[in-house]
Amino acid sequence: MNLYVGNLSYGTDNVTLENLFAEYGNVESCRIITDRDTGRPKGFGFVEMPERDEAMAAIDALNGTEVDGRTITVNEARPKPQGGGRGGFGGNRGGGYNNRRSY
């Protein structure tokens, strides 16, 4: 079961997060999401626990608790939406040159 963990302190690392959830069962993976450009944490992450009952116990125990000075949110992660995933404006990526000529 994939869990979303939100409102994390920017100082919280993967090891801290993994240790927190390991108290409730086996943690298969743990990752804090970082900004692609700066490398700084975005304040949320995901924890994957293979056993649903252990994951539910972690949600019940940890949602609304304080970690590194912040009250965290823990719930079942929603699937990523299907689609482009490209931000910004879609369509033509032309150079912006106006093709009209003055005669």
Q: Is the pLDDT of residue 102 over 90?
A: no
Q: How far apart are CA 53 and CA 63, in angstroms?
A: 15
- Supply the range of the domain harboring residue 63: 2-76
Cα–Cα distance measured from residue 84 to residue 100, given in angstroms and rounded to the nearest whole number: 33
Tell me, yes or no, whether 63 lies in a domain: yes
d(CA 81, CA 61): 28
Is position 53 within any domain?
yes
Looking at the 3D structure of the chain, how many domains does it have? Answer: 1
| pTM: predicted TM-score of the whole model, two decimal places | 0.77
Asked whether residue 42 is assigned to any structural domain, the reply reads yes
Cα distance between the two ends of the chain: 67
Distance CA 56, CA 97 (A): 56
Structure tokens of 35? 């900004």
Q: Give the residue ranges of DSSP H helices in 1-103.
A: 14-22, 52-62
Is residue 90 situated within a structural domain? no
Over residues 34-90, the pLDDT tens digits come to: 999 999 999 999 999 999 999 999 999 999 999 999 999 999 999 878 875 555 555
